[in-house]
Amino acid sequence: MDVPFPLHRSLSCTSVSNAITHLKIKPILGFVSHGTTSLSVQSSSWRKDGMVTGVSFSICANFSGRRRRKVSTPRSQGSSPKGFVPRKPSGMSTQRKVQKSNGDKESKSTSTSKESEISNQKTVEARVETSDDDTKGVVRDHKFLEDEDEINGSTKSISMSPVRVSSQFVESEETGGDDKDAVKLNKSKRSEESGFIIDSVIREQSGSQGETNASSKGSHAVGTKLYEILQVDVEPQQLKENNAGNVEYKGPVASKLLEITKASDVEHTESNEIDDLDTNSFFKSDLIEEDEPLAAGTVETGDSSLNLRLEMEANLRRQAIERLAEENLLQGIRLFCFPEVVKPDEDVEIFLNRGLSTLKNESDVLIMGAFNEWRYRSFTTRLTETHLNGDWWSCKIHVPKEAYRADFVFFNGQDVYDNNDGNDFSITVKGGMQIIDFENFLLEEKWREQEKLAKEQAERERLAEEQRRIEAEKAEIEADRAQAKEEAAKKKKVLRELMVKATKTRDITWYIEPSEFKCEDKVRLYYNKSSGPLSHAKDLWIHGGYNNWKDGLSIVKKLVKSERIDGDWWYTEVVIPDQALFLDWVFADGPPKHAIAYDNNHRQDFHAIVPNHIPEELYWVEEEHQIFKTLQEERRLREAAMRAKVEKTALLKTETKERTMKSFLLSQKHVVYTEPLDIQAGSSVTVYYNPANTVLNGKPEIWFRCSFNRWTHRLGPLPPQKMSPAENGTHVRATVKVPLDAYMMDFVFSEREDGGIFDNKSGMDYHIPVFGGVAKEPPMHIVHIAVEMAPIAKVGGLGDVVTSLSRAVQDLNHNVDIILPKYDCLKMNNVKDFRFHKNYFWGGTEIKVWFGKVEGLSVYFLEPQNGLFSKGCVYGCSNDGERFGFFCHAALEFLLQGGFSPDIIHCHDWSSAPVAWLFKEQYTHYGLSKSRIVFTIHNLEFGADLIGRAMTNADKATTVSPTYSQEVSGNPVIAPHLHKFHGIVNGIDPDIWDPLNDKFIPIPYTSENVVEGKTAAKEALQRKLGLKQADLPLVGIITRLTHQKGIHLIKHAIWRTLERNGQVVLLGSAPDPRVQNNFVNLANQLHSKYNDRARLCLTYDEPLSHLIYAGADFILVPSIFEPCGLTQLTAMRYGSIPVVRKTGGLYDTVFDVDHDKERAQQCGLEPNGFSFDGADAGGVDYALNRALSAWYDGRDWFNSLCKQVMEQDWSWNRPALDYLELYHAARKLE
């Protein structure tokens, strides 16, 4: 029976008899220089006459050149090193080769054979087998000599050490008749380097062996079983008679072999120099030196040895599986795997006992599973019936290197399962990935997949865009062709009319010689000077063209007087233009731009037909083609300019957003900031915190509490971390590793590890976005319920906020819907895809719902059939309270009946304030429990009672600037709710107010050419309003003329500017007639006294407002109170410097160049204007005088300030981030 055993470690076979004798096979330590050596060793007792009995080992070694290794070969004390002695030739090719090599080496024993240095490796094979013929399998290449120093009666160790065939082998003579059956150990030189591998062990029961000396020490009788030699305890049931009548051992022989092949069998000395050896190369029988032909017998021997080894391994595997099957069957276990220890990146065979399974009656058995708790690489495969005792079925599964466990169930391919009683089957993978490493691996895989999908999506979009471009270009080409055809037809009609009037014959005023000519001919054109208005002209010129002046003025020639013709005739030579059907000309007394008198044939011009012109049809075909080419070129230039502008706009928006995000991250630097500023997923980040500016000021310890993804990360909150002092003053710091699936970093600070006082940013927590993560923030669903929306139903700033805020939040990948009344006065031309959506009933009234897109936003229009919103206006009805109350209730009912479940319902001002309490009282427990209410106060002057009730019921409330929120904090409807009241500055729409794409200004400009753009706009404004065209400081005022806007301060500023030799332009009107009349009188006074430097336009003019923002140097906003204010923000968008009073949103957005540098830096900004405190003339003078002086005294500095304010972002980019934080804080509330 063949018994395979692995060859990956040192190997020793121990044979034991009644006396303890060991046979050790030493590990591979070197190689024969070249050639193939076959050794036959009979292991048992060694007799004086050299005869050997017992187990016969046939060792076949195929050697190749290898690097030398210095080894120390252990041996018994007193024994001398023995070597292999080459035998005389016996006719084999391998023997002849070895002998020839040895003969060549004798003359140069100290040198290394060239062949021994060949790098080609050959397989080294060995075979150990028992034989009933004492000469069977012995190859007579060499003799293994008997150890002559045998010590009788003592434990003897005979070492089969690695040897090397070389010129150092000692020659020996034949030893008689027994030479061929025995080898003698020689006391001569032992080879230092050699190696062999035992590939297979063949155990055969032998009865024909010669007489055995059973009493000899270290001997075994012929037929001794291998398990006896290996000292394996054998149970009776492990012996079984085979078909041939031989007794086979069924026990763990391989295990015993592995146990006795320990690394300790090789003894190393400190001087050992053993290089790494690729054992796999030993089995590659095809690695043969190219210059040394291999005998056919050697190849056959190698193939046979390899087959034997594989057969032995298969037998060992089969025996191990049979043993496991028997053991599990006896214990009633229906599942096992082989190998028993499952490792990653290897195959495992899974066995199921169908008879013990719920699938015992099924003809098909399949396995369905995956790895790592069903999260990785699913698989399904069919099991096959095995030869094992019992109803065992099996299949092989490859275990990936990322696995730490395998999970699976069995089924019949349909609906019958064995899932381990609902627990599923699982196998632990030893040495596999750690769970946390696998989590990170999955995240990396997800990130790579997302990148791949993003690239594929980008490519699809590119191809789709290219296809759209191609189709659009085809349509435009057809349109150009049609236009060219139409224009050619019009020209053809005109030319034919002119050709009728043209003449071919001689005229008393002019004629052409010769009378017959064609294109490109040179002719003489004669003119009778005395016949027309140029009779007294000193010089005569012809100004001409052709085909109704097709190419403009193309013929300019001076005439000279003809000497050979009687009369006052003058002439010039003219070359007839190509493609000319007829000529056009007039006579003049000078060249173009210098002529005074003309003879133009009584305003009809002169025309002469070209007699031999090209065929008309050919001409008009060519003309149409030329028109088409011209249209194509014009379109190409137009599209290129448009494309460049779009790309520039997109770049500016991107750069602005990046600056805004940086400003957002730096806005709290006096309290907290990070290094790096932009946190990247998968990296480490250090958080710096300054407790001196918080509620934790003076605390001896600061603890950092952190998590990710709005406190919802799979890892949960990280353990509290004590912060250590930083190098920069009062700051402390902590460092954390950001996971790959983070999109937001969340943290708070506390005074102790177990809590105590917290700094949680007034309940909002600190949040910093994480970039580059594999996970994206889940989108929120926000619904605005409002009665205004720009531009379809805009009355005041509320409509602007609803539209612009919604667009900005939607641009941040959240879902936004707007619910609006369907007024009969809507500007429907701004609604796209308008269609009927549904209808429902509430309050006894049918309500029709319409859907449309406004500025890219989804809008639901509610149209109750009771006529409440068919009044022709938004506000101004006597029952506005009833109208808007009904709308609020109907909007909530629409959400409920429509199955909406928004995260946030955002209502605005008194008009939609009822949403807050109606929701809490009637809808919280009826399907909308997930939603939270956010309420924004735009104007506290109207509906205070409704606003107060909404404040009570809202989850979060805002107003339009932080300073205004402080200014109204004492109001009775606000004061009880300060804990949930926040101020967020409004923004402006950067698409409406965009100097790069503004059609109302003469030159588009950005911060890069702000001086050029504003200079052109100022000149255009001065021309438009009739002001003096001069380089003077221009102050613009765009406002409603009310007391809130500081009309008394406006009047004073106008006079003060004129006193400083500046110019003033005011645009606005007053709702109060008395105020309006007052400003009409002021306008009359100013226009009469300062007509070239003052202009008051007492109306509203949208185009003019754009021109004032661009052309003015300063924009004045002296409001008494201003919740937010958009005028100063728009002014900075156009590079105009704001001059404002410090109140509300004006204080939050304008930072004085002389006094607010530190305050601006805390907001991540630079100073951007001039401001004053008081509400009197002195305050206005203080700010306005500094502004005008800066313009007069430091124009370069002033121009740089204009550039600086243009680069500041006052769009909704930053407010949208603040609102999102507020929305998330509202969602956390119970």
Annotated binding site for ADP-alpha-D-glucose: 794
Contacts 24+ apart (CB under 8 A), 202-207: 202/1, 202/2, 202/127, 202/128, 202/129, 202/130, 202/308, 203/1, 203/2, 203/3, 203/129, 203/130, 204/129, 204/130, 204/131, 204/132, 205/132, 205/246, 205/247, 206/130, 206/131, 206/132, 206/133, 207/132
Residue 606: helix, strand or coil by DSSP?
strand
> Of 819, 818, 853, which Cα lies nearest the Cα of 835?
853
Cα 357 to chain centroid distance, Å, stands at 48
DSSP type of residue 321: H
1002-1018 core/surface letters (b: 16 or more CB in 10 A; e: else): bbbbbbebbbebbbbbb
Determine the Cα–Cα distance for residues 2 and 15; give it in Å rounded to an integer: 18
Three-state SS for 187-248 is: CCCCCCCCCCCCCEEECCCCCCCCCCCCCCCCCCCCCCCHHHHCCCCCCHHHEEECCCCCEE
Torsions phi, psi of 854, nearest 5? -125, 120
As a whole number of angstroms, the longest Cα–Cα distance in the chain is 161
DSSP type of residue 136: T
Three-state SS for 245-307 is: CCEEECCCHHHHHHHHCCHHHCCCCCCCECCCCCHHHHHCCCCCCCCCCCCHHHHHHHHHHHH
CB 784 within 8 Å of CB 819: yes
DSSP type of residue 1230: -
Determine the Cα–Cα distance for residues 879 and 861; give it in Å rounded to an integer: 20
Determine the Cα–Cα distance for residues 732 and 380; give it in Å rounded to an integer: 55
Cβ atoms < 10 Å from Cβ of 346: 14
Determine the Cα–Cα distance for residues 957 and 940; give it in Å rounded to an integer: 13
CB 1054 within 8 Å of CB 1066: yes
Rounded-to-10 torsion of CA 1140, 1146, 1149, 1153: 30
- DSSP string covering 924-945: TTTT-TT-EEEEEES-TTS-HH
Place of tokens 């949103």: 1145
**Tokens representing residue 306 in the block:** 């390899």
Strand spans (E) along 738-814 = 744-752, 755-759, 766-771, 781-785
Determine the Cα–Cα distance for residues 1122 and 939; give it in Å rounded to an integer: 10
**Tokens representing residue 238 in the block:** 């492990």
DSSP type of residue 872: S
**Tokens representing residue 450 in the block:** 């997302």
**Tokens representing residue 1150 in the block:** 């304008």
> Of 149, 142, 151, 3, which Cα lies nearest the Cα of 61?
142
What is the crossing angle of helices 1195-1206 and 1010-1025, to 10°?
100
**Tokens representing residue 528 in the block:** 């009778």
Cα 574 to chain centroid distance, Å, stands at 70
**Distance of CA 224 to CAs 134, 215, 396, 626, 702, Å?**
14, 14, 38, 109, 80
Annotated binding residues = 794
Place of tokens 């951007």: 1168
Instruction: List residues bridging with 934 in a β-sheet.
Output: 906, 956
